[in-house]
């Protein structure tokens, strides 16, 4: 989502606003997109940094797309932007379980990008303790369950 916003906002904002309004998006919808984008950047994603609950744009998906399509970069990077948009459009507005909150599926039916969806809170705690013993910070890792009692730990640094 960050890359998408960086692409569409990397132009003169007044020029973008003019293009967006000409594409049939209302001034209210434009402000709603700006508010949503600012919230995504402020929270480093589309979950509140406090409480870990998801927030969605006020404007509808069609208006969201019109804004994306009105940007200068859409004409230049159409395939890239279409690919990004197709990957995220289904989840941007999805507030159904497990997308409504950050957490473990077994604990609160949540979602997280730090662990695969089949990792339990207890398994994560065990791997975290193991990492601490090896002096590996779990803050920049991703954990995937390959099969029962077999895990893959990816370290970002």
pLDDT tops 70 at residue 101: no
Tokens 């473990």 -> residue:
104
pLDDT tops 70 at residue 81: yes
Q: What is the reported pLDDT for 120?
A: 87
User: Considering only CA atoms, which of 69, 70, 63, 116 is closest in space to residue 92?
Assistant: 63
Q: What is the pLDDT of residues 23-67, one digit of tens each?
A: 999 999 999 999 999 999 988 888 777 767 888 999 999 999 999
Let me know how many helices (H) and strands (E) the chain has, helices first. 8, 2
Instruction: Look at residue 45 and give its three-state secondary structure.
Output: coil
pLDDT tops 90 at residue 114: no
pLDDT tops 90 at residue 104: no
Contacts of 29 (CB under 8 A, 6+ apart): 59, 63, 67
pLDDT tops 80 at residue 100: no
CA dist 107 and 119 (Å) reads 11
CA dist 27 and 142 (Å) reads 41
Model pTM above 0.85:
no
**What are the residue boundaries of the structural domains of the chain, listed by start?**
2-92, 105-155
């Amino acid at each position: 989502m960050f890359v998408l916003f960086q692409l569409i906002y990397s132009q003169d904002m007044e020029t973008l606003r003019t293009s967006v309004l000409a594409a049939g998006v209302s001034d209210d919808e434009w402000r709603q997109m700006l508010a949503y984008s600012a919230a995504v950047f402020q929270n480093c994603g589309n979950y509140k940094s406090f409480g870990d609950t998801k927030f969605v744009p006020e404007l509808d998906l069609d208006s969201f797309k019109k804004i994306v399509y009105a940007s200068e970069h859409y004409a230049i990077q159409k395939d890239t932007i279409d690919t990004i948009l197709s990957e995220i459009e289904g989840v941007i507005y999805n507030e159904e379980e497990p997308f409504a909150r950050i957490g473990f599926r077994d604990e609160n039916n949540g979602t997280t990008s730090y662990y695969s969806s089949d990792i339990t809170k207890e398994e994560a705690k065990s791997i975290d303790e193991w990492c601490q013993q090896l002096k590996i910070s779990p803050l920049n890792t991703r954990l995937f369950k390959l099969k029962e009692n077999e895990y893959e730990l990816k370290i970002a640094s």
